[in-house]
Amino acid sequence: MAVIYWQLGSFTRPLPPGPWVRVTAGRVADTDAAGWDRGVRPGMAAGEIKWRYPEARLWPADSRQGPDLAAWLAGTAWAFRWDREAGCGWWEWPRLTGDRYRELVAVVVPARAARLAGGAAGHPWLARWVAEAGEQLGLPAWRGDGWVTFYLPPAVEAVWARRLPLIYVEAPAALHRQWADQGWRTAGEVPGLLPLPPRPLPPSAAVWERRYPLTEADRRQWGIRAPELARRVVAEALADHPAWTGWAVRWEGTALPPRRRHWSPSGDRRILAARLLTLLLPLPAGSPAGVGIGGQTGMPALGTAQQHWGWAPVARAPADPPPGAVRGRRLSRREQMLAYWDPWRGGDRR
């Protein structure tokens, strides 16, 4: 599974006059071609503009003009986290290759943005670092007209993770202050931070659907044809996504409601085929002309916030500090109280 970090530029219309940079919430949202060539990138702190592009005029960003890739990513990526206003974010894609990646980029450039800078790695922190510093690091890249994406080969990822600057590590500000007090600048210098802790992206609810016509012979021998169809559908579905959570079967030519069910994510062919077979059997009466089979990669939305307690942050005792914490340091009263914070109440434990 590859994690890709994208930064898109020059997507606003109409363009402001003269040198310009659009800013939102203290971050760069977009810039013109000259600013892009000077290193101004979406998501960058607005304070960097005066050093990289001092003659640029700052304009407020309009979120309605940004490239809304959420709908496209939901149907393409396995998981994603996209900031529309800033024009940057992460997404995951299984079995990424150069040719397939160029096909995906062609959907975005130049239709949604004139320029794209990206990085691909096995971890979101590494992907962003590769995107922003790939040229200086001398990493291999996929290039095209108006876009470039540097990638980190999996074989050397563990070595490069030790060189990851701590500014790319998503951690509480207090933890970053501890690292700065110790003089640590890279992930390899922080005890307990490697291997990098997993940072999964929110799974997308991508929906995949195919239609299969049924003949009279299929209906007569449905007990034999149904397992064959289930294995065929699973093979086609796994070619697009590595794991699936739900199936839906719709019988064409009948007034019957669709058969639907969700399970935990799985990428095992036998398990997925067995799950689908429970919906394909038995064949309903009425001689359906065909069957429509749909798959879903994301879990269904739960009704209330309390139902999300299983995914809420788990309270930890003060004796179990987060990865990279300085051991032996006396915890503050606030940190002790937050260690026992009830996850049902929500809130930010940092």
Per-residue pLDDT tens over the stretch 118-165: 999 999 999 999 999 999 999 999 999 889 999 999 899 999 999 999
Give mean pLDDT, residues 188-208. Answer: 79
Tokens of 262: 């969700």
Cα–Cα distance for residue pair 270/268, rounded to 1 Å = 6
Residue 202 is inside which H or E element, if any?
A: none
Please name the helix (run of DSSP H) or strand (run of DSSP E) that holds residue 230, with its range, or none.
Answer: helix 222-238
Which residue in this structure is represented by tokens 């940092």? Answer: 350
- Per-residue pLDDT of 215-240, as tens digits, reads 999 999 999 999 999 999 999 888 87
pLDDT value for 326: 64
Whether the CB-CB separation of 265 and 300 falls below 8 Å is answered with no
> Over the chain, what is the mean pLDDT?
80
Q: Count CB neighbours of 40 within 10 A.
A: 21
Provide DSSP, 147-179.
EEEEE--GGGHHHHHTT-BGGGS---HHHHHHH
* Least trusted range by pLDDT, from 7-16, 107-116, 310-319: 310-319
Find where tokens 């030519």 sit.
253
Which sequence spans correspond to the domains of the chain?
1-203, 207-296, 307-345
User: Lowest-confidence range among 5-14, 81-90, 96-105?
Assistant: 5-14
Q: CATH code for 207-296? A: 3.30.1490.100
